[in-house]
Structure 1
Amino acid sequence: MRKKGVDALMHSLMGKAIGKFGLIEDGDRLLVCVSGGHDSMVLLYLLQTRLSFIPVNYELHVLHIDLGFPGGESDRLEAYLENFGLPYTRVKTEIGPLSHSEANWENPCFMCSRMRKKLIFQTAERLGYNKIVMGHNRDDVLETFFLNMAFSGEISTMIPMQSFFDGMFLLIRPFYLIDEDVIRRYARRHEIPSFHDGCPTGKNSKRALIRSWLETLYPHNRKIKGTLFHALSNVKPDYLPKNL
């Protein structure tokens, strides 16, 4: 079946990332992390859809870490995920309220992310999965680069496939080459819903600050985002200072 527009773009860029970076192989058992946001919802939909027309077979298991925020929509998400007919694990936690407690008010996002990632690895080990799939997109990659530079004093970002604990786990990102707005367009076209996790600081986080700054640059030249992304793998060490 011939695909047009955003469908063709999504399948093309996802397939390119999977092939170029060797993200998924025949026989893989994939633990798909679903937060309820557009990225992870579309990722799950496409991973299942691709099985009907590609020569590679893999197993899917859905993992949702319930952060425990009041007002979170984990129950609605769980009901919707039943439509996929896939094995599903929901881990209920108090990570959200704990990371936003008075004792940690300065950096809730860091603590939340760290605790969530630790729990993902523990669950993957318990379920017997070594390949973990996340829905981070090209915008996330750029935001993380500037976030780390501005607030951690280092030049680093997400990579397409990342090894943890001497190869015990592989974290893969099939949406690595895809812009967030393309994913949202695809979600609207296929009526794929999103579910809010209830986080009270998401719109006021350091990441949101970086995102807002980047969005002031993009209107000046439509090539800026692509140029920034290319720069991540075009490093000139001779023109970077050492031991400052």
Structure 2
Amino acid sequence: MIKIKNIGEIHGITEGNYNFYINNNEEKDLIIIENKKDKLKIEIEYNKNNIINALEKIKKLTEIKIVPDEMNDREILSYIQSKGYDKVLWNLIGKAMHQFNMIEEGDKIAVGVSGGKDILVTLNAFVRVKKIAKINFEIIPIHIHPKHDSADCSEIKDYCKKLGLELKVIETNLDDMLFGKEKEKNPCFLCGRIRRGILYRVMKEEGINKLALGHHKDDIIETFLMNILYQGNRNVMKPSYVSEEYGVRVIRPLAFVEEKNIISYARKLSLPIMKSKCPYETSEDSKRLRVKNLIKDLALENEDIRSVVLNSIKDLF
């Protein structure tokens, strides 16, 4: 990946077999890419006020990712929107936001940025709405970082900065609480509860009234089926609800979006995803993984199985 402060910095760069040049004249501005090995020359016209489309073309043609350190509002929106995701992403997010009144004038919305693909897409969705809608609200990205975790969250910080946001990082002793002397029987439940408690505390201190989480359509139906099969109840992840304990509203803008489309979008934009070190996410003993695989098998017979299940539980929202 190549980082640039402005388009002019591309001139003279050599990456692999490719050489990059800028050619500006009265008629048009061009990025010229030469591959002497394959005797190839590519010309890409660009707009100085919006270089994102040109950078996306470079990546598509050369597989070389070039990203600007800073973007203006038009570039941010162009980058976030990308092409081909209106039907499977933005329309569905808009539907959930409208149906459950997720964004209101004057809101202060905390986004629990774990570093995973889902919450980064959620963050993008809020930035997109802020750029195109006439609603005055505030986005506060918050990252809870275990002190013993050596993973670097600088990329997430840089990404938030590029979107015009400042990431708030809170360090915790989460590993000690979960994997201390007494091994927790249900660490996933406790981990989620502790993280949520930390977020609620910060929200109360800073007057934040809503918490956005990255759970998507697959998460909702998997959790419902897990509760049916293993707990014997019909509890669901609601797209929107008020936490009576903490007095804040929790919202899930990706409630109608399928995970496969989130993966596709995240890959296309090369989002700075932090790799999870949690042993329970890929464990063969994971009940969630069993249910996820069950749904995959059922989808081979009926590709709309996720929508069928979700439609059957909407009355519980």
After TM superposition, the score normalised by the length of structure 1 is 0.87
2:195 equivalent among 102, 116, 136: 116
Task: Write out aligned runs for 1:83-232 (5 A).
Answer: 83-165=162-244, 168-204=247-283, 205-232=286-313
The answer to whether the aligner puts 1:9 opposite 2:88 as a matched pair is yes
Q: Which amino acid aligns with 1:213?
A: L
- Percent identical pairs in the alignment equals 28
Instruction: Tell me, yes or no, if the aligned pair for 2:155 and 2:272 is still in contact at 8 Å.
Output: no
Which protein is richer in strand relative to its size?
2
Measure how far apart 1:72 and its partner are.
Answer: 3.2
- Structure 1 residue runs of 5 or longer lacking an equivalent are 236-244
Distance 2:176 2:308 in 1: 39
**Number of residue equivalences:** 235
Measure how far apart 1:198 and its partner are.
Answer: 2.0
Distance 1:196 1:97 in 2: 20
Distance 1:113 1:167 in 2: 15
CA shift in 2, pair 1:112/1:19, >3 Å: same
Distance 1:51 1:143 in 2: 31
Distance 1:165 1:188 in 2: 37
Q: Which amino acid aligns with 2:162?
A: N
After TM superposition, the score normalised by the length of structure 2 is 0.68
Please list the CA deviations of residues 194-242 of structure 1 after superposition, one character each: whole Å capped at 9, or x if unmatched: 112321221123222221222111111112111111111358xxxxxxx
Task: Write out aligned runs for 1:61-76 (5 A).
Answer: 61-68=140-147, 70-76=149-155
Instruction: Tell me, yes or no, if the aligned pair for 2:160 and 2:166 is still in contact at 8 Å.
Output: no
Measure how far apart 1:97 and its partner are.
Answer: 4.3
Q: Which amino acid aligns with 2:303?
A: R
- 169-178 vs 106-115, greater mean Cα deviation: 106-115
Distance 2:92 2:115 in 1: 22
Please list the CA deviations of residues 181-202 of structure 1 after superposition, one character each: whole Å capped at 9, or x if unmatched: 1111111222222112321221
Q: Which amino acid aligns with 1:229?
A: L
Moved over 6 A (4+): none
Instruction: Tell me, yes or no, if the aligned pair for 2:211 and 2:251 is still in contact at 8 Å.
Output: yes
Greater CA radius of gyration, 1 or 2? 2
Instruction: Tell me, yes or no, if the aligned pair for 2:107 and 2:138 is still in contact at 8 Å.
Output: yes
- Structure 2 residue runs of 5 or longer lacking an equivalent are 1-77
Pick 1 or 2: higher relative contact order, CA cutoff 8 A, min separation 6.
1
Measure how far apart 1:75 and its partner are.
Answer: 4.2
Q: Secondary structure at the match of 2:296?
A: helix
Q: Secondary structure at the match of 2:201?
A: helix
